[in-house]
Amino acid sequence: MISKTTINNTHLIATCIILFTGFLFLFNIGKRDLWAPDEPRYAQVSKEMRDSGNFIVPHLNSEPYPDKPPLLFWLINLFSIPFGKITALSSRLPSAFAGIGCCLAIFYLGKSLYHNTRIALLASLFLATSSKFLWMSHRVAFDVLLTFFVTMAIFCFCKGYAARHNHRPITPPISPPLQGKDEGEVKKQERRYYTLFYIFMALGVLTKGPIGFIIPFCIVLTYLILKKDIRVLKETRPWIGGAIFAFIVFTWVYLASIYGGKEYAYQILFKQNVGRFASSFAHKRPFYYYFINFPVNFIPWSIFIPSIAIYLLSKEGRGKIQNILLPVIWVAVVFIFFSIVSGKRDIYVLPLYPAAALITAWFLNEFVEQFRAKHFKKIGYYPCYILCGTTLALSTLLPIAIYKLFPQHTSSTIPFVAILLIGGLVMLRFVRYARIIPFLFTIIFVIFFAFNIGTLKAIPILNQYKSAKEICDKAYSMMKSGEKLAMYDFFRDPYLFYTNRNHIEILHGIDELRRFLNSNERVFLFIQEKDFNKISKLLEVPTFVLKQDSVGHRDMLLISNKDI
């Protein structure tokens, strides 16, 4: 039997993971403003949903918004209840808690697959500290939430599969889930997990469309085909799971088609999904995009990718590939699928990060157990020394780069230099004495402290350049109720959200602009400075610049037809 001590230790480690990732993902997340392009858009859609009371069909600028299903917007509204309004903090909480959930899920999945606490814990921490996953857990985004549901769906499938099938790569003769349990109890456990498998896929669909079903189902299907165990699909009771899945998904689809009309239903079901797959109307990238992009975004753990590949192709590693069959399939399915899709963004492959963390943790566990083996002399130690060198180099190059580019902020680099320098030296010492686990934990804590100090030091500086809140606050303070506000020749969501409006008129062409500014009433306009300089002499209408601000790469003006 599994001892109570083992169970208690697992709960203790899980609690530590929650505390660690909770601080990492939640610290200071509400202090910066919502940054374009995505954050203010999703917050605004949630705001319009709250203001209108229509929680079925999302709207943006008072028009139906068919780009995404509603689950994230529902959750943002749920987390906003204590604040009484949609805020930057409440908008980011779904991503932060989904990130914590992903790390916890991958810990338990690692325990289930390998019966090895070290692999499970390392996988969880690697996922939490991989650069893109860490950053996205601090943003308003669909992708961390989707990753959570994909991970949970695969975890539930594995638990249901393990309840009856002895599939673990490292397993005693009697699978632990079967020990001390009768046939009825095992069957009940199996059915419960398989039902949850379908429920989490349905929630994935409500998060980001059919991809929430396609990814986990294709991973499971490919795994069972390679295991020559395809009959297990019947054991998942697809007629019951499918009915539950259909009820969850199509209840919303049916209501959305009633409230939003057939055009909205067509957009959300076909154009935004099938259309993006076949011929994307945005974010077109070459097929090799993720081969370059993923290693950059999985830093620092991507430094081990070449070593993992070499090891798996070696004589020693080929015999162990069955041990990581599921996470390898997971990575391959997501990677290949999104490489085929014409529209590509780095965040689209976020659902493969938990599997990549599992593979990396498994490889480093092999390294720890065989650190004296000849074949690990290069593939194990070389990446470690590269990480040490990179960390120490950054401690020198960072202040130099900041001094060259932003000399006024050079003093802000002092805590980063201290962390990188001390961390790099400690890492180097651990590697020299073959203490790999302390070396890995040093990297984790360097990232932990550097990132959290970054939210205090660097993020407020970047916020001055990226936020539209200041110019929008100026407009909001000047405008009276009922006065019109428009944008000329562009639409950006922050100007809608931070002026506390649900509709702003978009003007195109000088005739529309002249008509708008010729109003007898006072009106306000957001316009890019370069556009204003081109057309100001052609307007033949008095205009007054009330505020100028740089927002990202745009120089923006707030103008009016009457002086204040």
| DSSP β-ladder status, 505-507 and 484-488 | parallel
* pTM for this model (two decimals): 0.92
pLDDT tens digit sequence for 514-537: 899 888 889 999 999 999 988 887
Strand partners, 485: 524
Distance CA 431, CA 419 (A): 18
d(C-alpha 94, C-alpha 158), whole Å? 25
pLDDT in tens, 222-266: 999 999 889 888 888 899 999 999 999 999 989 998 988 877 877
Say yes or no to pLDDT of 275 above 70: no
**Mean pLDDT, the chain, whole residue set:** 89
Portion of the chain with pLDDT greater than 70, in percent: 92
How many whole angstroms from its chain centre is CA 537?
46
Residue 204: CB atoms within 10 Å: 31
Q: How far apart are the first and last CA of the chain?
A: 78
For the cut 60, the answer to whether the pLDDT of residue 178 exceeds it is: no
pLDDT digits (tens, 9 = 90+) for 390-437: 999 999 999 999 988 888 888 888 999 999 999 999 999 999 999 999
Q: Is it the case that residue 109 has pLDDT exceeding 50?
A: yes
CA 177, chain centre distance (Å): 32
CA 340 to chain centre: 21
- Closest to 558 in 3D by CA, of 544, 542, 538, 541: 544
Q: What token pair was written down for 483?
A: 């006065």
* Mean pLDDT (whole number) for 70-98: 96
Please, are residues 208 and 215 in contact by the beta-carbon 8 Å criterion? no
For 268, which DSSP code? I
The confidence score (pLDDT) of residue 265 equals: 76
